[in-house]
């Protein structure tokens, strides 16, 4: 196979030791041509200096403010030199041969727009987190993960078309970036890769799950698994996806569903649990959309 330059990008926010564990695994990969770019997203608590000290071969970028997932990756993409760009969460570790199958998919299928590997849980390495994603329901703005939570017995050992790739590990080509643009930074966290996938598909490209590339994901180390911070951005971004990707009659039905069913139900659940932190975060997430009704920047997509 040919070996185009691959730019591997990861974003660090606190916990630099976790990023170092990813970089340690990347030192063992068998793919011969790559560069690694690490963006520290203005970590407020933990000094990220150890990343560059221990891994001097990387390109290290330190921001002055937290740009979010999309903003941090976009910053690195603009400095990347690769023909292919791999964005990978810092709370992952990789197998030595994980990169070749992803590159091969682009080489054998010219209509490929983005790919993700098989993603397994790091602490349960026999269990699948990602083997593809279903379409998003236009009313609930939720999808289901193919194979999620299943023990890997080889039942997904075949490449498959997917409606979306996974933000923990996804590769795109420079040609796609030039045609579609970068991730929408309005999201800050969550749903940005789903929005990006929708735009890539609308541009006529295919999205693929690549079965023989494996990444292990520690999941939600930076944001917390059930934190109020995560509750705020997850719910804010879900409705933002609706506003950016659903239109016409389905949009009206979706808005009615959210106002009459989803929002009251979720608020009631937090209230009954007497969970003030999550309740306030959820209320803030909904309130953000009322405040931004006239915001023309909702549909803005940055370019390369």
Strand partners, 121: 124, 217
State how far Cα 226 lies from the chain centre: 18
CA angle, 57 then 63 then 64, to 5°: 145
What was the pLDDT predicted at 222?
Answer: 57
What was the pLDDT predicted at 120?
Answer: 97
Could you tell me the mean pLDDT of each successive run of 10 residues in the chain, 304 residues long? 95 96 98 98 94 97 96 98 98 97 97 98 96 95 94 97 97 97 96 97 98 92 72 95 96 95 93 91 95 93 94
Within a domain: 223: no
Domain that holds residue 249: 228-299
Contact status, residue 169 vs residue 115, Cβ threshold 8 Å: no
What whole-number distance in Å separates Cα of residue 164 and Cα of residue 141? Answer: 13
What was the pLDDT predicted at 1?
Answer: 79
Q: How many domains does the chain have?
A: 2
What was the pLDDT predicted at 294?
Answer: 92
Tokens of 124: 């349960």
139 and 246 belong to one structural domain = no
> The domain that contains 34 carries what CATH number?
3.90.550.10
The helices-and-strands tally (H runs, E runs) of the chain is 10, 10
What are residue 112's phi and psi, to 5 degrees? -70, 130
Instruction: Please identify which residue in the block is written with the tokens 């987190």.
Output: 129
164 and 22 belong to one structural domain = yes
Smallest CA-to-CA distance from 180 within 27, 26, 296, 77 is with: 77
**Angle of helix 248-257 relative to helix 228-245, nearest 10 degrees?**
150
**Angle of helix 276-291 relative to helix 228-245, nearest 10 degrees?**
30
């Amino acid at each position: 196979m040919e070996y185009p330059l691959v730019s591997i990008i990861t974003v660090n926010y606190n916990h630099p030791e976790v990023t170092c564990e990813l970089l340690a695994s990347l030192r063992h990969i068998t793919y011969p041509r790559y560069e690694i770019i690490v963006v520290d997203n203005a970590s407020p608590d933990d000094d990220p200096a150890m990343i560059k000290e221990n891994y001097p071969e990387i390109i290290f970028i330190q921001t002055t403010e937290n740009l979010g997932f999309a903003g941090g990756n976009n910053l690195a993409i603009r400095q990347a030199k690769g023909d292919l760009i791999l964005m990978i969460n810092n709370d992952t570790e990789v197998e030595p041969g994980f990169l070749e199958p992803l590159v091969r998919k682009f080489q054998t299928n010219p209509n490929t727009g983005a790919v993700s590997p098989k993603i397994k849980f790091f602490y349960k390495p026999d269990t699948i987190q990602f083997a593809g994603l279903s379409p998003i329901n236009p009313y609930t703005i939720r999808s289901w993960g193919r194979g999620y939570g299943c023990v890997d017995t080889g039942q997904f050992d075949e490449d498959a078309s997917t409606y979306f790739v996974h933000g923990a590990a996804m590769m795109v080509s420079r040609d796609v970036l030039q045609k579609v643009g970068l991730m929408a930074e309005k999201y800050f966290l969550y749903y940005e890769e789903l929005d990006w996938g929708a735009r890539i598909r609308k541009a006529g490209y295919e999205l693929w799950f690549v079965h023989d590339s494996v990444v292990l994901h520690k999941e939600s180390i930076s944001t917390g698994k059930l934190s109020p911070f995560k509750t705020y951005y997850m719910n804010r971004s879900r409705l933002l996806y609706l506003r950016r990707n659903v239109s016409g009659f389905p949009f009206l039905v979706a808005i009615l569903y959210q106002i009459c069913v989803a929002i009251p139900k979720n608020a009631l659940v937090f209230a009954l649990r007497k969970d003030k932190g999550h309740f306030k975060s959820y209320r803030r997430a909904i309130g953000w959309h009322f405040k931004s009704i006239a915001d023309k920047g909702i549909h803005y997509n940055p370019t390369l």
